[in-house]
Amino acid sequence: MIVTIEGPTASGKTSLALKLAETLKTSIINCDSRQIYRYMDIGTAKPSKNDLSRITHYLINIIDPNESYNAGFFVKDADQYIHYLFNKEQIPIVCGGSGLYLRSLLEGLFEHPPIDSKIREQLKKELCELGIAHLYERLEIVDPVFASRISATDVQRILRGLEIHSATGLTISQHWQKQLKQTRYNAFKIFVCPNRDDLYAKINARVEKMLNDGLIDEIDTLLKMGFSWNDYGLNTMGYKEFKPYFSGKSSLLECAENTAQHHRNYAKRQLTWYRKSRFDLTIDSYSFSLSDVLGEIQSRYLRFKEESGANHCQNSK
């Protein structure tokens, strides 16, 4: 059995994961598509260095900002650590807001024919000429469900959504619907969901804290290291908004306000998507009882062990 912790950005997933991992004496598998990048700590709201040293985290700081990563890589990597923890008789905790990664982990990847490289090349050309906003608007038209699950600045996934549609005539969402669902793991799914006003206030406070913690210096360091605004990492929400500041076209305050607005918009889209999902437990981020959450997990784990033992006995007859 695994535990998954989902929820919109800034909802409090990391805090809950740390508390559960510490009590259950287990580790956390990151399911955030930006915390995979090295050197990008503040803008991705990674756990602190103290938390990372106190609780083992997997799939954090695994690639450079100019490298690509996708759901297929995630499933392969996460499977490895999940089974490693199973062998230690620990309950893996998978935490993060990347719905595509988590769905792929729990239900499997969908299959599609090979895609002509010319399609991706044409889309990249349009990206350079028309900008990511134009491509995202197109994605919203052809696949509004998938568009609602990703950031409007997520270049890699926007291109992926458009190229799948161009190559197959079906959207990613339609491919998911056609796929025969499989249950890859017995998962206890937790949804962390503050009310919207509280969530937006937390997002605004988070952006302010990121700036106070040195986000601008972090971006400046990345640029001096040779990474560019077109790289996968810097071309994501929380970083891309500050490009006009570095080019002298906008003030720091304007960029910060845009960052907070983009995060609020993203959280709104996430909440819309999560309403269609099923969870075993839904909590807010401030008034829940940790002991109650642990009790629910342990009860489910005991049932899982009993059922697994019963199935093993039946299969051995």
Q: What predicted TM-score, i.e. pTM, was given to this entire model?
A: 0.85
Residues 6+ apart with CB under 8 A from 225: 39
* Bigger pLDDT: 284 vs 80: 80
At residue 268's C-alpha, the angle toward residues 108 and 281, to 5°, is: 55
Mean pLDDT, residues 3-23: 96
Task: List the structure tokens of 250.
Answer: 């906008």
- Domain range for 78 is 2-110+179-316
Largest CA distance in the chain: 74
Residues 267 and 206 in one domain: yes
Q: Which pLDDT band holds residue 250 (cuts at 50, 70, 90)?
A: very high
Number of CB atoms found within 10 A of residue 136's CB: 21
Residues 242, 207 share a domain: yes
Are 227 and 278 part of one and the same domain?
yes
pLDDT tens digits along 161-173: 999 999 989 898 8
Say whether both 143 and 277 belong to one domain: no
Amino acid at 248: G
CA distance 94 to 104: 13
Identify the pLDDT of residue 110: 73
How far is the C-alpha of 300 from the C-alpha of 10, rounded, in Å?
27
Same domain, 18 and 151: no
**Cβ atoms of 219 and 234 closer than 8 Å:** yes
Same domain flag for 206 and 278 = yes
Q: Give 14-26 pLDDT, tens digit per residue.
A: 999 999 999 999 9
Counting residues of the chain whose pLDDT is more than 70, the rounded percentage is 96
Q: What is the mean pLDDT of residues 193-215?
A: 96
The verdict on 216 and 74 lying in the same domain is yes
| Range with lowest mean pLDDT among 74-88, 143-157, 223-237, 280-294 | 143-157
Q: Tens digits of per-residue pLDDT, 173-182?
A: 888 777 766 7
Using alpha carbons, list the distances in angstroms from residue 211 to 13, 133, 152, 228: 21, 25, 22, 20
For residue 92, give the CATH number of its domain: 3.40.50.300
Please give the structure tokens belonging to residue 110. Answer: 């969908």
**Residue that finishes a domain, picked among 160, 178, 196:** 178
Residue that the structure tokens 């995979």 belong to: 36
User: Residue 252: pLDDT above 60?
Assistant: yes
Instruction: Give me the pLDDT at residue 148, please.
Output: 82
Spatial strand order of the sheet with 28-30 comes to: 57-58, 28-30, 93-95, 2-6, 187-192, 281-283
My answer on whether 125 and 213 are in the same domain is no
Q: What pLDDT shows up at residue 316?
A: 46
Give the rounded percent of residues in the chain with a pLDDT score beyond 90. Answer: 71
pLDDT at 274 over 90: no
Q: Per mean pLDDT, which range of 97-106, 133-142, 180-189, 235-244 is the poorest?
A: 180-189
pLDDT in the model for residue 310: 59
Which residue bears the tokens 């804290």?
209
Query: Which tokens belong to 52?
Result: 């990372």
Residue 165 and residue 306 in one domain? no
Q: Are residues 204 and 272 in the same domain?
A: yes
- The answer to whether the CB of 259 falls within 8 A of the CB of 216 is no
- Provide mean pLDDT across the span 221-245: 96
| CATH number where 145 lies | 1.10.20.140
Task: Give the dihedral sign, CA 262/41/84/290.
Answer: negative
pLDDT at residue 41 is higher than 90: yes
| Together in a domain, 96 and 157 | no
Give mean pLDDT, residues 25-35. 97
Residue at a domain's end among 153, 178, 203: 178
What's the whole-number average pLDDT of the chain?
91
The Cα 183–Cα 107 span in angstroms is 5
Nearest one of 294, 214, 232, 297 to 65, comparing CA atoms: 232
- Domain end point (choices 178, 201, 229): 178
The two structure tokens encoding residue 31: 């399911």
Clarify whether residues 76 and 214 are in a common domain: yes
Number of domains making up the chain? 2
